[in-house]
Structure 1
Amino acid sequence: MEFHRFYLLVILSILCSQSRAETTGSVFFIDSSSNQFFRKATDDVTKPDLILDTEAGAAVSVLLGFAPPSTLSAASSTKLNQILVPNPFNRPRAVFMLEVRGVDGLYSELLAKDNAISGSILSSKIAFGSEKSEIQLPAEDEVSVVSLDEPFADLTDKEISTFASWMGGVYDYDTAETLNGELIIPLANGANMKLHMSKKADREFTASLLSLVRNLRNAMDMHEDLSHGTRSPAELLTGSFDGIKILREQYRTEGSAQHGMELLLSTLSKIYNELQDAYKGQIVGVIFCSGEASMESSKMLDVSFAPQRSGRLLEENKLPRDTVLEVLLVRGILAWTTGIILLVSTLIGICFLFNMPLTRDTLLYSNVKLD
């Protein structure tokens, strides 16, 4: 009886550890507005209902123009074929990858709408394993990885007012007191998103949204510089957005988080159009959504580079110092001996040339006819 109870406890602990180890979410592949890099819903190919984080990382590597990892299984390769257009010569070589935390299935459905962001969207569930997956890339000189997580340290009322005008809203503030105004942005559903800068959660949400926009525009400027260079590396723009998680933790209401998600989608729609113009349609988006509001700040997918190939070290570097000195002495003696022999041979040859008789050589100067 005790053995069966112990066996049951072991099974339950294994199941509980597995349930805690895996996290599920949603992934959205946003195609280019002028080119097709992903499968469309009308294609006669079955779309995967669930993909793994390793498969998502392999898809990003292929989109950047690199081969998928050699450890990818046949089943995972089939899923990639169900997501990507099977044309190795048609890759964007630029990916905008964003992780949105604190977004459950209800809010992620807003992203799946056709008019949420310009370009067709292919969505699927994603499972994150116990060990963090990586996007495997070649050497750093072949791909440019741009971080979009630079914080907005110098948030001002002027910056917020400029953002409000860009989004078609207003920012009512008092010039006598900084960061104490009200930001009002109209949403697609007819409602208004109101954010009070005097509230910490609203201010942090606004700062995270403005930092995302500014970092993306800095990435566009960097792309302009790279496009004029002799080499054009692949570009990965990667970042995370915690604004929705901040609103959910602060207000504990679904309305605030939903309005925040709609404002994020409106902002992404406008900035994604700018990305398409800057990259001339050669960029796609990959957005991960997770409902875990208490998720750690570390990213779901890390980026790893292949180790640099270095020249082979001489074997004597691993030998004792005395042995190395003996080898160097022998090599030096052989080099000097060979040099002296060649020098003496050259001098002897020159002497024979100067002492040659001046008579005509019968073999060289005779008209020999070979039958």
Structure 2
Amino acid sequence: MPNPFDRPRAAFVLEVTGVKDLLPLFKSNLFTNAFTEKVISGSDKAEIRLPEEEALLVSLDEPSASDFASLSDDEIGKFASWMGGSYVTDMSESLKGELTFPLGNGRKMSLHMSKEADRQYIGSLISLVHGVRRAKDMHEDFSQGTRRPAELIKGCFDGIKVLKEEQGTEGVAEQGLLVLLATLSRSYDLLQEAYKGQIVGVILLGDAASSQSDSLLDVTFTSRPSVRWLAETEGSANATKAAEVALVRLTLAWVTGLILLISVLLGVYLLLNMPLTRDTLLYSNVKLD
């Protein structure tokens, strides 16, 4: 029987823009045990607040890797081989070759690096893989230490949206989605192996932009008061309470003293102004003959 308290301490969250149809997702083995939920949201974002000392945010968005100018034919060739595809370089000019991915059932997707949309799409895929491997390395470093924070791996993929805007056809975008799912399947296998299965994957679909301000998730960190700060706060509260008690006691002492002083003065005044009669002399223990 599974332990309900043995929960994963890591989550892989990827926003995929430009995708609304969920049907192609269920054709992948990656989503065999997955479930879907349709959320209709307006301008509101999902706010996630994490304790700063107990959580770690790993961003998959690496601008340097998504910049196609920073890539090389060798790096693209290694990525194609890792995905089971091929990359034919252009001998006359670098970064102008043709990249081919198998899609199954005898189909394939060809991307020409001379096209701007294809370059951005490949740059986004390689950036995603780099981010996953970076998260894997960071987890291995933290797993050897005494501090074991919860981890949130978060990123956004705009490659499908770029293909739709540039190509204008759903067929190319669907092929790009299948290649993305194959990339996610291999990348998620790396995370499953590194985290020993203690990780949850979440894919958000929508038309949101990739900028941080338009992201569907707004992740912020909250600092938790330290033990020393709590001790100082408690000590300050105790000092304030002691000062209040001392003030009350001092006030009562002054009020009591004033009442006694007024009583003495009244007694002396009445005694000096008391008329000398037989009754008053008797009350004053004066013996009368």
Pairwise TM-score range, normalised by the shorter structure:
0.7 to 0.9
Asked whether the equivalents of residues 188 and 262 of structure 1 are also in contact (C-alpha less than 8 Å), the reply is no
Matching residue within 150, 162, 172 for 2:62:
150
Q: Show the counterpart of 2:53.
A: 141
AA in 2 matched with 1:147: S
Aligned-partner SS, 2:37: strand
Q: Show the counterpart of 1:31.
A: none
Q: Show the counterpart of 2:204.
A: 288
Paired residues for 1:71-220 under 5 Å = 87=4, 89-105=5-21, 108-113=22-27, 115-117=28-30, 120-138=33-51, 140-151=52-63, 152=65, 153=67, 154-220=70-136
Q: State the alpha-carbon separation in 2 of the partners of residues 119 and 285 from structure 1.
A: 13
Q: Show the counterpart of 1:268.
A: 184
Q: 1:112-142: CA deviations, max 9, x gaps?
A: 34x431651111101223222211212x221
Q: Show the counterpart of 1:299.
A: 215
Q: Show the counterpart of 2:153.
A: 237
CA 1:231/1:251 → structure 2, altered by over 3 Å: closer, same or farther? same
Q: State the alpha-carbon separation in 2 of the partners of residues 119 and 163 from structure 1.
A: 25
CA 1:170/1:225 → structure 2, altered by over 3 Å: closer, same or farther? same
For CA contacts below 8 A with separation 6 or more, give which structure has more relative contact order.
Answer: 2
Asked whether the equivalents of residues 118 and 272 of structure 1 are also in contact (C-alpha less than 8 Å), the reply is no
Give the drift of 1:308.
3.5
Aligned-partner SS, 1:285: strand
Asked whether the equivalents of residues 86 and 100 of structure 2 are also in contact (C-alpha less than 8 Å), the reply is yes
Q: Show the counterpart of 1:27.
A: none
Unaligned runs of 5+ residues in structure 2 are 237-289
Q: State the alpha-carbon separation in 2 of the partners of residues 104 and 305 from structure 1.
A: 30
Divergent runs of 4+, >4 A: 312-315
Paired residues for 1:311-350 under 5 Å = 311=229
| Number of matched pairs | 225
AA in 2 matched with 1:161: G
More helix by proportion, 1 or 2? 2
CA root-mean-square deviation: 2.2
Q: State the alpha-carbon separation in 1 of the partners of residues 31 and 26 from structure 2.
A: 11
Asked whether the equivalents of residues 187 and 263 of structure 1 are also in contact (C-alpha less than 8 Å), the reply is yes
Paired residues for 1:48-67 under 5 Å = none
Q: State the alpha-carbon separation in 2 of the partners of residues 190 and 117 from structure 1.
A: 20
Q: Show the counterpart of 1:248.
A: 164
Give the drift of 1:296.
5.7
**Larger Cα Rg: Structure 1 or Structure 2?**
2
AA in 2 matched with 1:284: V
**Percentage of matched positions with identical amino acids:** 52
